Amino acid sequence: MLCVLGAVMMYPLLWMVSSSLKPSRDVFTDLSLWPSNWDLGNYPDGWTALEHPFTVYFVNSLVIVVLSIIGNLVSCSLAAYGFARLNFTGRKLFFALMLGTMMLPGHVLLVPQYIVFAKLDWINTYYPLLVPNFLATNAFYIFLMVQFMRSLPSELDDAARMDGCGPFRTFWSVIMPLCMPAFATTAIFTFISVWNEFFGPLIYLTDSELYTVPLALRQFIDSEGQSQWGQMFAMSFLSLAPVIGFFIAGQKYLVKGIATTGLK
């Protein structure tokens, strides 16, 4: 029963891989997963099928993803340490506010944020996609790290204070090294969500030179007339490959991360 369900779940992905290896005319006529005619040309042809080669789109996506990961790790870990281990006036209130933003649907902020970014002349730049990540706007990751930091014994901070460490030294030398699992979870989640993100790039990037991979893929349906399905599936598969790779490498952290935020 589980085997059948698993096969059904994986079938669409396998079909995509198989279609990417078939000549376009066979995609909808040859129903078997094992191509009867192989066409490896879909990959090199698809790579250059659009206005720019996919190298451009992959590099763009990669730049945004790497900077987003750095931004989230730095800003969210600072905020999380403040919430989890320091005592200051208004902490409870701010924490409640932070949890509140976690539930706030992003579309409410969309129009004014767009106006601000437009006034700053940031349309057609990566700033609207990157800057918010450096300002700890992803409450989910703060929450994940707070949960993790709270589970560390408070004796650690006391011992560090005895040894003359201020809060920054304690954060940097004592807490941070212990938080690597939470950071790994954050990095992987950020990777997957930013890599797949469509809406932000759609409204902020209009210059095709700046396009990310999802925006580029969308152009395959705009130029549907050619019906280069094989190429489209080849590039679709390549766009998913990094996510699948990260998933296989970081499954442990993902499952743990999602389970702890859901349970507490």
Partner 1 sequence: MTSGTTTGLPAGVVARDVPAAPRRRAKRRKDRAGYLFLLPWFIGMLFTVIPFFASLYLAFTDYNLLNAPQWIGLGNFREMLDDPLLRQSLKVTFIYTFVSVPLSLVVALGVAMMLNQGIKGLPVYRAVFYLPSLLGGSVAIVLLWKYIFGFDGIVNGFLGWFGIDGPGWTTDPDYALTTLIILHIWTFGSPMVIFLAGLRQIPTMYYEAAAVDGASRWRQFRSITLPLLSPIIFFNLIQSLISSFQTFTQGFIMSGGTGGPADSTIFYNLYLYQQGFSQFHMGYASAMAWVLLVIIAAFTALNFLAAKYWVFYDN
Closer by beta carbon to partner 1, 16 or else 66: 16
Q: Which of 143, 148, 211, 229 binds partner 1 (CB under 8 A)?
A: 229
Rounded to 5 degrees, what are φ and ψ at 196?
-85, -10
Under rule CB under 8 A, which residues in 39-78 are in contact with partner 1? 74-75, 78
Treating both helix axes as pointing N-terminal to C-terminal, what angle do 54-85 and 91-103 enclose, rounded to 10 degrees?
Answer: 150
> Does the protein bind partner 1 through residue 142 (CB under 8 A)?
yes
Q: Count CB neighbours of 87 within 10 A.
A: 6
Provide the sign of the torsion angle of the four alpha carbons 25, 225, 242, 185, taken in this order: negative
244 belongs to the binding site for partner 1 (CB under 8 A): yes
Interface characters, 171-190, with partner 1 (x: CB under 8 A) = x-------------------
Q: Three-state SS across 100-132?
A: HHHHCCCHHHHHHHHHHHHHCCCCCCCHHHHHH
Residue 66 or 240 with smaller CB distance to partner 1: 240
Stretch that binds partner 1, among 58-66, 107-115, 152-160, 175-183 (CB under 8 A): 107-115
Distance CA 159, CA 87 (A): 17
Nearer to partner 1, 90 or 153 (CB): 90
Among 40, 59, 63, 86, binds partner 1 (CB under 8 A): 86
Cβ-based neighbours of 43, under 8 Å, separated by 6 or more: 20, 234, 238
Stretch that binds partner 1, among 57-65, 92-100, 150-158, 172-180 (CB under 8 A): 92-100
If binding means CB under 8 A, how many residues of this protein chain bind partner 1?
85
